[in-house]
Amino acid sequence: MANEKVKVLIIGSGPAGFTAAVYAARAGMKPVLYQGGQPGGQLTITTDVENYPGYPEGVMGPQMMVDFQKQAERFGTDIRSGMVTGVDFSGWPHKVTVDNKTEIEAEAVIISTGASAKWLGLESEQRLNGKGVSACAVCDGFFFRGQDVAIVGAGDTAAEEATYLSKLVNKVYMLVRRDEMRASKIMQQRVANSPNIEVLWNTETVEVLGDEEVSGVRLKDTVTGEERELDVQGFFVAIGHKPNTDIFKDYLDMDEAGYIKTIPGTSKTNIPGVFATGDAQDKIYRQAVTAAGSGCMGALDAEKFIAEKEVELQEAAL
């Protein structure tokens, strides 16, 4: 295996990772950042970001991530494509394996791996994935122009994506499993103001129908237990996210959902020199701006850790 030594290794390229990179690079720590499977992270599959301070007119998610990357590069971050496939935090320096072949030793590791979309777990959903089933309205809505689609979920993501789809397609059925939505009032208002969105309350998905492509969906009324079929050509899933933290589970303390535990008010994990930032450790706020803020904390904590470690090593050498 190839071997390389770095001071600060950042895993992930969303707002947390790039902000950590800006701070670490400006502090002269020559950070190396691995982009992971979705360069730019979740914001690359979003449209308008209207709530990031500093953009009074809003900004498109993908453009914002291009800007984040440029800022990180400007100060000398070494940005690489590649997926971290394993870690060994049993000693120090920490060992990180990339693409199952490159081993890197890092004095500090900043985890900014974010979260990924959740699925319902139906066989038909998996079989028809990419053939009419999607977890990203912004990526795939275009393919269903003028057609009828369904979207599952009742949070801000589902409301936002339903509204986005309503501008492209003929009709959007929003499948809500309870008799209320957890989306914020403003997002619910946007759904209510879209004449071609129909909310189906107390509705569960039993099966996505179709052989080679989606032709409909079988639904169940959770109150009466009655089942019925609905003709749709697209089926979108927007039911939340799972943190991308599986590769760390042998070493890091996590909650039952897999969010990495950090010492409150810091980005420190239970392993000295390993810091967690962004959605990988935040199940409450999950915003670009909070992720960026925690990325900053990760870099400042890493800088302090490395400085203290250097003093420790010098004293040990005397």
Longest dimension (CA), the chain: 78
In terms of CB distance, is 129 or 270 closer to ligand NDP? 129
Active site residue 139: yes
- Residue 220 sits in the site that holds ligand NDP (CB under 6 A): no
In terms of CB distance, is 31 or 61 closer to ligand NDP? 61
Binding to ligand NDP, residues 225-254 (CB under 6 A): 239-241
Shortest reach from residue 238's CB to ligand NDP, in Å:
6
- Residue 258 sits in the site that holds ligand NDP (CB under 6 A): no
In terms of CB distance, is 107 or 160 closer to ligand NDP? 160
The one catalytic residue in 67, 88, 99, 139 is 139
- Residue 178 sits in the site that holds ligand NDP (CB under 6 A): yes
Binding to ligand NDP, residues 56-115 (CB under 6 A): none
Binding residues (CB under 6 A) for ligand NDP: these are 51, 120, 152-158, 160, 177-178, 182, 239-241, 286
Residues with a catalytic annotation lie at: 136, 139-140
